[in-house]
Amino acid sequence: MAEADIPVLVKHMALAIYESGDIPGPKLQVIQRSLLIARHRLVQYGFLLPGSEVGGTENIRMTGKGLQRNAVHIRELGSKGTTKRWDQLYELIAEEEGADEDIDGDGSMTPGVLPVASSVRAVRDEQRRVRQAKAARTGPRTKRRRPRRVKRARRR
């Protein structure tokens, strides 16, 4: 199921995002969010066609650039182990949440699966909070900045 639906490039990127530990929340939501972020980023970078970031995994369509990079990921050393780890994580989503099935039949997200916009927004809000907390710890700058070079005035 998961092996045929998601390209290896998307699996590897989603696993890297998941293992980075930057996404807060329960394990299932972290897995879902990492897949959504990977899809959005790959569309942004030009590896997936626009529209691949929303909907089910059947909507994922690759560009020529994406197909080339996917072939590289298939051939790389350790690819099977990485792909297998992602497939095990993805099976948790499929079993618990029914992520591959559209219950309503109207294209809406299944219960328990976060909408794309809110999950990406939650990640950005968390990143903003971390930046603000870091800025609050460091405090204001105490020294005044000096210009690198000052042009001298001509004397008459």
pLDDT, position 70: 92
- Most confidently predicted of 53-57, 71-75, 138-142: 71-75
Output the CA angle 50-56-57, nearest 5 degrees. 80
Residue labelled with tokens 């079993």? 95
Does the pLDDT of residue 105 top 60, yes or no?
no
Helix ranges restricted to H, 46-156: 64-75, 79-97, 116-138
Dihedral, 97, 70, 38, 132 alpha carbons, nearest 10: 150
Question: Which residues partner with 62 through β-bridges?
Answer: 48
15 CA to centre of own chain: 9
pLDDT, position 72: 92
Percent of the chain with pLDDT over 70: 74
Measure the CA–CA gap between 46 and 60, rounded to whole angstroms: 13
Least confidently predicted of 72-76, 90-94, 134-138: 134-138
Mean pLDDT of 64-73: 92
DSSP state of 151: P
Mean pLDDT of 122-136: 82
136: Cβ–Cβ under 8 A, 6 or more apart, which residues? none
Write the CA distances from 2 to 54, 62, 65, 139, integer angstroms: 17, 17, 22, 48
User: HSE of 30 in the Cβ direction (CA atoms, 13 Å)?
Assistant: 15
pLDDT, position 143: 67
Question: Which residues partner with 48 through β-bridges?
Answer: 62
Which of the two residues, 95 and 91, has the higher pLDDT score? Answer: 91
Average pLDDT, the chain: 79
Measure the CA–CA gap between 14 and 5, rounded to whole angstroms: 14
Does the pLDDT of residue 102 top 50, yes or no?
no
Q: What is the residue extent of each domain of the chain?
A: 2-101+111-134
